[in-house]
Amino acid sequence: MQPPAPTGTRSHRVAFLIAPVLGAAVLIAALTGLVPDLAALAIAVGGVALWATVVLVHTALAIHHRDGTFAACRGAGFIGMAALVTGVTAGLLYLGPPHQGIYLAAGVGAVATLYVLGTMLLPGAASTAAVRLRRAFDGLGLGVALGFAAYLMRPLGKAPYSTLVCTLLAATGISIVTVIVLRARLHRPAALRCGLGAILVLLALSTVANLVLSGHDDWIVALFGLPIVAGLALTAEGGSRRNLPESLPPREQDLYLSGYPLLALPAGIGVIAALYHLIFVGNFDPTAISLGIAMVAILTMRELLVVSDIRRYTGQLRTKEAHFRSLVAGATDLTLVLDDKLTVRWQSPAAARLFGLADSEVVGRTFINLLHPDDAAGAQAGIETLLAGEHDDGPPALLNARIRDGHGMWRDTESTVADQRSVPEVSALVVHVRDVGERRHLERTLHKLSYTDQLTGLANRRALMRDLLAYRRRAGQQGTVLVIDLHGLAEINDSKGREIGDAVLIEVGRRIRSLLGEEDVAARLGGDEFAVLTADGAVLAYALATRIVTLLMEPYQLPGTIVELHTSVGLAELAGGNDSEEVLRHADLARSRARQLGRDRVEWYDTDVEIQLHRRMDLERELLGAADRGELDLVFQPVVSLSDTQPVGVEALLRWRHPKLGTILPAELLPIARAVGCAADLDEWVLDAACRHLSSWPGGNNEFWLSVNVSPRELLSARFPETVAEILARHRLEPERLVVEVQETWVAEDVPAIVASLTGLRKLGVRAALDDFGAGQASLSHLRRLPVDMLKLDQGLVNTPAEPPIGPAVIDVVVSLGKRLGLEIVAKGLETQEQIDRARRAGCLYGQGFALARPAPAERMEAYLDSHRA
């Protein structure tokens, strides 16, 4: 028969009850007189017992084959065997064999023994042999005591000894089964049902045996058969458990018997029964004496087990205490035990070693009083939260507070507070205090290093962004960011070495810091780039930037050398950006614009700056391919004789016809060319294109010349004279018709090299002109050294008004000096007739300007020349 699972369906439960119901029906029929009493008892109990045996044995085999758990399958098997012996005993009642009392006592004893073994071996009942032995002694002492009391207080002494044996065996079995099922740790409802069934079977079976042995074989025997049938059904249902439990950790109470108040119960029962018998009967027969001795012997054995368990448990406690003391004494944490009022009741021995604290200084004081006053409130709040139960399922409370050590010093500590009030052996708060001073010092050091530039000692970019964010969060806070870029540091590193470069950076940081206020922040962004965050407004910030530029321009006196630097500074207001990154980007854009416009400049950020920067980047990106795309062009401006207004030459001017940005003039184009490194290529292209146009104009003569501007880098290159000669030969032009113009502002950079280059051109027959004469600072001192043939006066000299007469006087001096040196004088920038007359009166031979002729493309210039020649 297949036993039902605990979660079976309704049909399975109905099928499970068929056999017990049929057995109960047979017994009810006996009560009504339809069937003989003993026959009905034998049939009903025997049939249900056989059914229960099949169910339990089948369950035992199924558990063994599925899980391989031998103990669990043995438990179900023993209960099945108990059911089978119950059926056999019921048959003995009907058959009435010789020596029936002996057989019935043996049957009851076998049923009791099998039920005890079965319930012990069921899952969750008793895990080890020692526990099972203690369960047996607990129940055995209680059973013998009950039997002893029953023998003394009831008139069983006149009954056959077999009834006494049956009663003692049943009582013992019932007591042991009761102890086992009440202490079952798992499947408690099923264990209770199985135990209740075994108790019903043993109680009813011993009663029926006593009745039959006493000569009562009437209907009452059939009546007691109903509890037997019910008990067999309960044991079959409760004992057929298939879902085995997981292994459980042993409980400390199972290790020793003194944890249960079972010793007093059997002893009390025996004493009360003995006193009753002594008072009302007066003497004890041998049977009573034997039962009393057995009870005392069992209780003595139980006491011996108690003493053995107590000794073993005491040894375990000593071992654990020794381990605990060794761990606490050698721990790196201080352990404190607090009561509910946070008063220190105990501190570990590590207190003296770690913090220099004696017990008298700590024990009896509240934990909060040991903390720094600034940290006490936070620690109190954390402990109150823990006491309120908010951390029942979470980790212990973690407190960061300073504690005064035995030397009066405040130590940074980290405390873990665990609520152990629910543990009976502790019933307190346990605090583990760890000294984290070195860790905190290391954290502060690392934090400082992460926000400091290691070379200059200034703040780094990360610290600047942190402070910039803090500035912006202040309501109504004005402020300005300055970005400072150094020029020339790379050359110092290359020529002087990295050590000198680092020394320069350190000195730059010191100079910047010397100009700042207490709330200002100086930072090094990286490389040769610095920044300043100041709370000043626009006017004061611009004045600060100007002072920084002036101070950083001063020479740097270093061991064995003197170096100079130049700077570019960009400024941006904090209110001008959406976030800190954008403010810093604005300042950097302004710095880039300042660098484009020249050195030692200060520029504010505005929207035009960003537009100009984007325009500059677009031009730098597209300039390299402009010649190949045919976007470069030349215009020519005539140079005329002031005496007869006839053209004597032309100046070639470069134009970049950008398809989107329009015409780009040389003032914007040439700095870009120098920045991207293609100025020499542009000069060569201009020279070649200008000579090509000059050679194609008909009707020219050898006195009509062409002037071309040349950059210093191209002029100072070793192959420049060779390049000029190749271009002149290619276009079949006489060298005298070419004039190379050099700006006077460039001459001071390297006068000897320019003199040598111009001398080489003069050997070829090419003439030279000093352009924008009068715009520089040392023009007159260089005229005698420079091999030039022509002076082109700066527009500032020519455009000076007649009153006061300082202007014409300067022109007269310059023209007079030029004539003495044999130079031809060209007045540039003539835009009015008055300026033309002034230049003519001063003695200038030639003039150039809008009042005489405007720049024009090659085709129009050719027509212009033809018309004037005509």
Q: Is residue 310 part of a domain?
A: no
Q: How many beta carbons lie within 10 A of that of residue 851, not counting itself?
A: 15
Q: Which of 67-76, 555-564, 691-700, 777-786 has the highest mean pLDDT?
A: 555-564
520 phi/psi in degrees, rounded to 5:
-75, 150
Which of 605, 632, 652 is the last residue before a domain boundary?
Answer: 605
Which of 572, 605, 638 is the last residue before a domain boundary?
Answer: 605
Say what the pTM is: 0.46
What is the C-alpha separation between 83 and 119, in angstroms, rounded?
A: 13
Which is more confidently placed, 459 or 801? 459
- State the average pLDDT over residues 424-429: 78
Determine the pLDDT at residue 251: 46
8 A C-beta contact, residue 662 and residue 671: no
Determine the pLDDT at residue 353: 79
Determine the pLDDT at residue 234: 84
Which is more confidently placed, 770 or 621? 770
Q: Are residues 33 and 82 in the same domain?
A: yes
Q: Give the CATH number, domain containing residue 824.
A: 3.20.20.450
Q: Is residue 447 part of a domain?
A: no
Q: Are residues 730 and 855 in the same domain?
A: yes
pLDDT of 814 over the 70 cut: yes
What band does 579 get if pLDDT is binned at 50, 70 and 90?
Answer: confident
Which of 114, 113, 112, 122 shows the shortest CA–CA distance to 75? 122
What band does 66 get if pLDDT is binned at 50, 70 and 90?
Answer: low
- State the average pLDDT over residues 222-242: 79
What band does 249 get if pLDDT is binned at 50, 70 and 90?
Answer: very low
Question: Alpha carbon of 423 to those of 90, 248, 321, 327, 429: distances in Å?
Answer: 53, 20, 17, 20, 10
User: Could you write out the three-class secondary structure of 564-625?
Assistant: CCEEEEEEEEHHHCCCHHHHHHHHHHHHHHHHHHCCCEEEECCHHHHHHHHHHHHHHHHHCC
8 A C-beta contact, residue 731 and residue 695: yes
Determine the pLDDT at residue 125: 64
What band does 515 get if pLDDT is binned at 50, 70 and 90?
Answer: very high
Determine the pLDDT at residue 250: 46
Task: Report the mean per-residue pLDDT for the chain.
Answer: 78
Q: Are residues 725 and 784 in the same domain?
A: yes
Determine the pLDDT at residue 6: 43
Determine the pLDDT at residue 12: 53
Q: Are residues 117 and 168 in the same domain?
A: yes
Which is more confidently placed, 211 or 63? 211
What band does 15 get if pLDDT is binned at 50, 70 and 90?
Answer: low
Determine the pLDDT at residue 743: 80
- State the average pLDDT over residues 414-442: 82
Determine the pLDDT at residue 263: 54
Q: Are residues 41 and 186 in the same domain?
A: yes
Torsion angle in degrees (nearest 10) through CA of 704, 709, 713, 717: -10
8 A C-beta contact, residue 45 and residue 232: yes
Residue 448, burial from CB neighbour count under 10 angstroms (0-12, 13-18, 19+): exposed
- Name the 3-class secondary structure at 274: helix
E strand or H helix that includes residue 663: strand 662-664
- State the average pLDDT over residues 535-562: 90
592: its two tokens: 């880039």
pLDDT of 157 over the 50 cut: no
- State the average pLDDT over residues 691-700: 79
Specify the range with the lowest mean pLDDT, choosing from 314-328, 785-799, 830-844.
Answer: 314-328
pLDDT of 806 over the 60 cut: no
Structure confidence by residue, pLDDT tens digits, 332-363: 788 888 888 888 888 888 778 778 888 888 88
What band does 244 get if pLDDT is binned at 50, 70 and 90?
Answer: very low
Task: Look up tokens 């730059």; give the residue.
Answer: 508
- Name the 3-class secondary structure at 698: coil
pLDDT of 545 over the 90 cut: yes
pLDDT of 803 over the 60 cut: no
Q: Are residues 362 and 288 in the same domain?
A: no
Q: Are residues 393 and 467 in the same domain?
A: no
Determine the pLDDT at residue 815: 84
182 phi/psi in degrees, rounded to 5:
-70, -25
Which is more confidently placed, 490 or 220? 490
Which is more confidently placed, 654 or 750? 654
What band does 258 get if pLDDT is binned at 50, 70 and 90?
Answer: very low
pLDDT of 8 over the 90 cut: no
Q: Is residue 247 part of a domain?
A: no
Structure confidence by residue, pLDDT tens digits, 593-629: 888 777 889 988 877 766 777 777 777 777 877 777 8
- State the average pLDDT over residues 186-198: 74
pLDDT of 475 over the 70 cut: no
Determine the pLDDT at residue 95: 73
Q: Is residue 689 part of a domain?
A: yes
Q: How many beta carbons lie within 10 A of that of residue 332, not counting itself?
A: 9
Task: Look up tokens 């505005």; give the residue.
Answer: 606
pLDDT of 532 over the 90 cut: yes
Q: Is residue 88 part of a domain?
A: yes
Which is more confidently placed, 153 or 496? 496
Determine the pLDDT at residue 414: 86
What band does 862 get if pLDDT is binned at 50, 70 and 90?
Answer: confident
What band does 246 get if pLDDT is binned at 50, 70 and 90?
Answer: very low
Q: Are residues 205 and 171 in the same domain?
A: yes
Q: Are residues 359 and 467 in the same domain?
A: no
Longest dimension (CA), the chain: 174
Which domain does 704 fall in, by range? 624-869
629 phi/psi in degrees, rounded to 5:
-85, 0
Determine the pLDDT at residue 5: 44
8 A C-beta contact, residue 333 and residue 432: yes
Specify the range with the lowest mean pLDDT, choosing from 171-185, 543-557, 620-634, 735-749.
Answer: 171-185
Q: Is residue 93 part of a domain?
A: yes
Determine the pLDDT at residue 307: 73
Q: Which of 26-30, 326-330, 575-579, 820-824 has the highest mean pLDDT?
A: 820-824
Q: Give the CATH number, domain containing residue 503.
A: 3.30.70.270
Specify the range with the lowest mean pLDDT, choosing from 61-75, 113-127, 662-676, 822-836.
Answer: 61-75
Q: Is residue 612 part of a domain?
A: no
What band does 55 get if pLDDT is binned at 50, 70 and 90?
Answer: confident
Which of 394, 410, 442 is the last residue before a domain boundary?
Answer: 442
Q: Are residues 368 and 495 in the same domain?
A: no
Q: Is residue 515 part of a domain?
A: yes
Determine the pLDDT at residue 522: 92
Give me the percent of the chain exceeding a pLDDT of 70: 79
What band does 639 get if pLDDT is binned at 50, 70 and 90?
Answer: very high
746: its two tokens: 């460039």
Determine the pLDDT at residue 786: 81
pLDDT of 670 over the 80 cut: no
Determine the pLDDT at residue 483: 93
Provide the number of structural domains found in the chain.
Answer: 4
Q: Are residues 688 and 777 in the same domain?
A: yes
What is the C-alpha separation between 325 and 212, in angstroms, rounded?
A: 67
Q: Give the CATH number, domain containing residue 355.
A: 3.30.450.20
What band does 130 get if pLDDT is binned at 50, 70 and 90?
Answer: low
Please, how many CA atoms are within 13 Å of residue 345, restricted to the half-sphere of its CB? 11
What band does 405 get if pLDDT is binned at 50, 70 and 90?
Answer: confident
Determine the pLDDT at residue 570: 92
Which is more confidently placed, 515 or 610? 515
CA angle 18, 22, 100 (to 5 degrees): 125
pLDDT of 252 over the 50 cut: no
Q: Are residues 702 and 633 in the same domain?
A: yes
